[in-house]
Structure 1
């Protein structure tokens, strides 16, 4: 199933790839600038490999989320719970996806259209709903 925003979100990811831009350092620089408390969580990532792997998983999740949603919603919920064990607040997940979107917008410049902006906003709202709906560990059902 495709969502109304699927084509535009996918096109933005494809365009970044076509341009040969690795957005990893840009995304994490933005994250650490707005949430410096997150940087210490990456103390083992001396060469950026962990950040790159995490961003690749985010892109995979986005592509599934805008498509058939076979696993993305479950993956997001599982990662929220896993990362809470690392003392990463759950709202950082919604923030992180938004950080990816803002970074791509900056990197794509004129290739980021009003349609792309609307599509990312709609998708981010849906992801935020998944984040909010994820029960807290130990919370009463």
Structure 2
């Protein structure tokens, strides 16, 4: 495993060494925190899915960060936390900017 100097990449690298697939953990946390989203993933193409996807995606990055932090435990570093803290507002700014 190559070690990245980017804290977010490093958090994913460490997570990959601990579990083969992050997806079930992310969706578990998503459905725990937002149970209403469970039905959104069963019916593709519905208007609700299309209208809600951006807002959900922005929340989803927070879910991913929290899942990584939980999985990494003591290896979750201050620089990883700071990088995610910088990234999340950037995503929100980009997503809400006029086209």
- TM exceeding 0.5: yes
Tell me the matched-pair count: 93
Q: Tell me, in whole angstroms, the C-alpha distance in 2 between the residues paired with 1:32 and 1:94.
A: 15
8 Å CA contact 1:12–1:112 kept in 2: the answer is yes
For residues 19 and 89 of structure 1, do their structure 2 counterparts lie closer, same or farther at Cα, with a shift above 3 Å needed? closer
Give the structure with the higher percent helix: 2
Normalising by structure 1, what TM-score? 0.57
* Cα distance change on mapping 1:131 and 1:88 into 2, 3 Å: same
1:93 to 1:12, Cα distance in 2 relative to 1, 3 A? same
Question: Matches of residues 92-107 of structure 1 in structure 2 within 5 Å?
Answer: 92-107=56-71
Note the 1:122-141 alignment, pairs <5 A: 122-133=86-97, 135=99
Provide structure 2 residue ranges, at least 5 long, that are not aligned to the other structure. none
| RMSD, aligned CA | 2.4
Q: TM-score, normalised by structure 2?
A: 0.79
Distance (whole Å) between structure 1 residues aligned to residue 57 and residue 14 of structure 2? 24
* CA distance in 1: counterparts of 2:30 and 2:98, whole angstroms: 22
Does residue 90 (structure 1) correspond to residue 89 (structure 2)? The answer is no
Change in Cα spacing, 1:92 to 1:10, as seen in structure 2 (3 Å) is: same
> How far apart in 2 are the matches of 1:7 and 1:96?
20
Q: Distance in 2 between matches of 1:85 and 1:21?
A: 28
Residues 1:23 and 2:22 are matched in the alignment? yes
